[in-house]
């Protein structure tokens, strides 16, 4: 099993715009995880990319915080929208 960061944009009706998300998954089939995200989401998803984690989870989280992301659950982050 490998750990992947899946980056994607999902439409948010409150923001009336696409918000950027990061989801951390541990899997041997990242394409299956991406397909499941697309097929089970009620919101439109676009711009999906993924990368295998080469640094620790803590280092990733620190980088995301510096980039303006906030944690919404253990393995899920969203980019805060600028007002």
**pLDDT of the residue at 28:** 94
Kindly report the pTM of this predicted structure. Answer: 0.87
Rounded to an integer, the average pLDDT of 23-40 is 94
Number of domain units in the chain: 1
Q: Which domain holds residue 58?
A: 2-79
Say how far apart CA 55 and CA 68 lie, in whole Å.
19
Read off the pLDDT band of 82 (50, 70, 90): low
* Radius of gyration in angstroms for the set of CA atoms belonging to the chain, rounded to a whole number: 13
- State yes or no: pLDDT of 83 exceeds 60: no
């Amino acid at each position: 099993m490998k750990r992947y960061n899946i980056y994607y944009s999902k439409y948010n009706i409150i923001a009336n715009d696409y918000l950027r998300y990061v989801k951390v998954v541990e899997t041997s089939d990242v394409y299956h995880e991406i397909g499941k995200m697309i097929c089970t989401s009620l919101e439109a998803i676009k711009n999906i990319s993924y990368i295998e984690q080469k640094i620790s989870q803590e280092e990733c989280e620190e980088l995301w915080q510096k980039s303006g992301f906030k944690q919404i659950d253990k393995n899920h982050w969203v980019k805060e929208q600028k007002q």
